[in-house]
Amino acid sequence: MGVEFKVENHIAYITLNRPEAMNSLDPEALDKLKEIWTEVRTNRDIWVSILTGAGEKAFCTGTDMKKAPPPSECMASAYLNDGIPIIPYMKMWKPIIAAINGYAVGGGLEMALACDLRIASETAQFGLTEVKVASLAGLNGTQCLPRAIPQAVAMKMLLTGERIDAKEALRVGLVSDVVSPDKLIELADQLAKKIASNAPLSVKAAKQAAVLGMDMPLEHGIQMAHLLWGVLRDTDDRKEGFTAFAEKRAPKWQGK
């Protein structure tokens, strides 16, 4: 199976499962990812997701060049025409954690850039190498990488196609944590459980305010945050949160 998917305790686990092909994306895997992100977006029982790759060699190396469709059926055209993303795009307000084990290059790094938290194993490598094959990081890489790390570093990666290792990725802020390969999924699970223990509507609102606010003047971003606070004020979960705090017990969130 090209992509594995399961949901447990409000956490979706998405695993790119083509280790023999460095977890590259063939047409079947791309179709499956479209289905999965639609499910994550619409399933109210999913509050947070973990995206990773099978094995320790690669998170994802982008499109499987051996099975790439002809130009008339290229991945970018399919992405634009049907409106269903193969990557978790920014308007997915449910948080997504990328657990990066090994190579995250090309479309693999673009998927990681679309996630909210990125953690990496010590063996991870990152790069947008499309210029080496006369192509372009055309999904979100040219826009998101310069927003995620210092512009000079991003431009060097984009124009040279060179990779950086996990240590450098941590230094420039591309990832938040670097751990040994055997601790990667454990850390991802810990982070996901911490997020899932919080009120899901509040978590979504926090992500929405932060992501949209980055492209607004500060005053407008603050106004939007005030509006979202007002939307949350009378929810059942907010009442439950205050009641649980007063009663010194764990809250029981309903997502409404």
Q: What DSSP line would sit under 57-126, residue for residue?
A: SEEE-SB-GGGPPPGGG-HHHHHHHH---SS--TT--S-EEEEE-SEEETHHHHHHHTSSEEEEETT-EE
Catalytic residue from among 28, 35, 130, 247: 130
Cα-to-chain-centroid distance, residue 188: 12
Considering the domain architecture, whether residues 91 and 114 belong to the same structural domain is answered as yes
Considering the domain architecture, whether residues 25 and 146 belong to the same structural domain is answered as yes
Q: Mind listing the pLDDT tens digit for each residue in 33-88?
A: 889 998 999 999 999 999 999 998 999 998 877 766 555 555 555 444 444 455 66
Residue 122 lies in a domain: yes
Please indicate whether residue 110 is annotated as part of the active site. yes
Q: Please give the pLDDT value at position 195.
A: 98
Phi, psi dihedrals of residue 83, rounded to the nearest 5° = 75, 5
Tell which of 196, 216, 234 closes a domain: 196
Q: Please give the pLDDT value at position 30.
A: 87
Residues of the chain with pLDDT under 70: 67-91
Q: Please give the pLDDT value at position 73.
A: 52
CATH of residue 112's domain is: 3.90.226.10
Q: Please give the pLDDT value at position 79.
A: 47
Considering the domain architecture, whether residues 157 and 237 belong to the same structural domain is answered as no
Considering the domain architecture, whether residues 51 and 95 belong to the same structural domain is answered as yes
Catalytic residue from among 110, 186, 219, 247: 110
Phi, psi dihedrals of residue 164, rounded to the nearest 5° = -120, 155
Q: Token pair for residue 165?
A: 């290792």
Kindly report the pTM of this predicted structure: 0.91
Considering the domain architecture, whether residues 144 and 224 belong to the same structural domain is answered as no
Q: Please give the pLDDT value at position 67.
A: 64
Is there a contact between 175 and 191 (Cβ–Cβ < 8 Å)? no
Is there a contact between 123 and 179 (Cβ–Cβ < 8 Å)? no
Residue 16 lies in a domain: yes
Considering the domain architecture, whether residues 147 and 218 belong to the same structural domain is answered as no
Query: Would you tell me how many other CB atoms lie within 10 Å of the CB of residue 116?
Result: 20
Q: Please give the pLDDT value at position 19.
A: 93
